[in-house]
């Protein structure tokens, strides 16, 4: 510690020009070790890169470099063991680490700060953290995709109702419905990949905001830390948090995908739908109603979306009016990102297990797939093939549906003579349009629900899940 430094200042990186320390309330609002300690790995990685650069330009001797590198290693071991000795005077993780290095190594510990600022340091730390988080979330998404692929493969050939407006629309394969989530999730993974690619820019050697005068090489930091490139502008490097916003936007959209999935599982598991049963390990009971079997995990995942959306809104609101370059408001950049990623770390494995645990009721699904006049569109399109304009065919089939409702039957329950009364084109051959399997297999385009199309789609979905799992 410097002879000019008050011992109570040891854990903060400023103070020499002040006659007195911060007020207790001012210190309480400014201290950030409770959450920025999550960045210790990234901070130590940046410090190791900085140590090598300081040695290259002659600020550190070889022995001093080695001593600092050894100290940083021991410091990391303490963090990994959750034994790092934080002090009440530590303002943030950067100051805490420097204070510890000075205590352990003496004056050489204070040399590490040369040529860098907390401004470029924290931007670098958060980028490194977000980079790792993007990789982790993509792999978790891959696991959920795989659960859908396995369920789709197991139930290939099963019929299910397809819905619009939560009203039965047309019959589909259950596998087609399940695979829809694979592609939604694949876009979610793509957003994290895109965010990672854009944030992978090094900010070190930007200094407080104008660069530095010691001859440090920005490219050397990028190379050592695995960044793709160096930030073009030092002011932009320390001031911008759009990378964190982009990660949060990807997280919020993913949380909404999971929320929609949670809602469908809740609906499917009701007595009213009865399409699926959630496994015991992902269900709970009632404290008062012994018969209850609640899909609580799906509900909790559905509820988490609001929290992650809130994290995005919080950081957007913080950044929306900040002038260049660094402002202390940016201390608020970390907690929303940490919270959103922590929430996804909980939600993704939980909903993955829930999906894998689902047990479907084939008969109930098949019955619902053709109920509610679900084959009406097929009948209208059959009339089109017989030369009836679709506008007219739509009206004709509407009349058929009205007649069926009046008689309390579905389309296949109408007497053929009654059909011909409505329109002469509705002859006995149209009965072939009332078979669900034929209706499904007629939709054989590459993105359709026909068995042959879904089988091919399943192979592509399996590849997509594997690519994210291996990311």
Is residue 317 within 8 Å of residue 333, measured between CB atoms? Answer: no
Contacting residues for 33 by C-beta, under 8 A, at least 6 apart: 86, 90, 91, 92, 93, 96
Structure tokens at 287: 């404290």
State the Cα torsion 141-144-148-154 to the nearest 10°. 140
Rg (C-alpha) for the chain, rounded Å, is 31
Between CA 349 and CA 332 the distance in angstroms is: 28
Between CA 166 and CA 158 the distance in angstroms is: 20
If phi > 0 it is left, if psi is from -120 to 50 it is alpha, else beta; for residue 15 that is left
- Give catalytic residues, as residue numbers: 165, 286
Structure tokens at 222: 């990028």
Structure tokens at 93: 């993780």
State the Cα torsion 118-124-127-132 to the nearest 10°. -110
Beta-strand runs (E) in 251-297:
276-277
Phi, psi of 413 (to 5 degrees): -95, 0
Between CA 72 and CA 52 the distance in angstroms is: 12
Structure tokens at 47: 């410090």
């Amino acid at each position: 510690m410097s002879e000019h430094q008050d011992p109570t200042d040891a854990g903060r990186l400023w103070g020499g020009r002040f006659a007195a320390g911060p007020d207790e309330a001012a210190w309480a609002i400014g201290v950030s070790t409770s959450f920025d300690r999550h960045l210790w790995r990234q901070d130590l990685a940046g410090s190791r890169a900085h140590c090598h650069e300081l040695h290259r330009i002659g600020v550190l001797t070889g022995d001093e470099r080695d001593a600092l590198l050894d100290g940083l290693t021991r410091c990391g071991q303490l963090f990994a063991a959750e034994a790092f000795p934080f002090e009440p005077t530590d303002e943030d993780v950067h100051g805490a680490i420097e204070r510890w290095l000075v205590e352990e190594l003496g004056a050489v510990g204070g040399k590490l700060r040369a040529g860098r600022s907390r401004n470029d340091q924290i931007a670098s730390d958060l980028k490194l953290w977000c980079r790792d988080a993007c990789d982790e979330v993509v792999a978790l998404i891959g696991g959920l995709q795989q659960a859908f692929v396995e369920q789709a493969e197991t139930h290939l050939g099963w019929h299910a109702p397809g819905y619009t407006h939560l009203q039965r629309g047309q019959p589909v394969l259950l596998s087609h419905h399940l695979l829809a989530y694979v592609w939604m999730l694949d876009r979610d993974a793509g957003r994290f990949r895109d965010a990672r690619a854009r944030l992978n820019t090094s900010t070190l050697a930007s200094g407080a905001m104008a660069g530095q005068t010691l001859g440090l090489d920005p490219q050397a930091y990028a190379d050592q830390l695995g960044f793709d490139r160096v930030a073009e502008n030092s002011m932009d490097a320390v001031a911008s948090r759009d990378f964190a916003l982009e990660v949060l936007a990807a997280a919020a959209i993913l949380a909404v995908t999971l929320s929609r999935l949670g809602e469908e599982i809740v609906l499917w598991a009701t007595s009213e739908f009865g399409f699926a049963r959630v496994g015991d390990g992902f269900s709970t009971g009632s404290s008062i109603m012994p018969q209850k079997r609640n899909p609580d995990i799906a509900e909790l995942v559905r509820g988490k979306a609001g929290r992650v959306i809130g994290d995005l809104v919080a950081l957007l609101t913080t950044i929306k009016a900040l002038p260049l370059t660094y402002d202390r408001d940016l201390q608020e950049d970390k907690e929303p990102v940490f919270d959103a990623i922590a929430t996804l770390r909980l939600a993704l494995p939980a909903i993955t297990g829930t999906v894998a645990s689902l047990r479907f009721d084939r008969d109930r699904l098949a019955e619902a797939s053709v109920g509610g006049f679900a084959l009406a569109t097929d009948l209208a399109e059959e009339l089109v093939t017989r030369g009836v304009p679709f506008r007219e065919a739509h009206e004709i089939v509407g009349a058929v549906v009205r007649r069926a409702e009046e008689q309390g039957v579905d389309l296949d329950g109408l007497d053929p003579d009654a059909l011909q009364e409505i329109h002469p084109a509705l002859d006995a051959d149209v009965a072939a349009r009332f078979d669900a399997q034929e209706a499904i297999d007629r939709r054989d385009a590459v993105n359709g629900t026909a068995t042959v199309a879904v089988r091919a789609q399943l192979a592509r979905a399996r590849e997509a899940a594997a690519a994210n799992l291996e990311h």
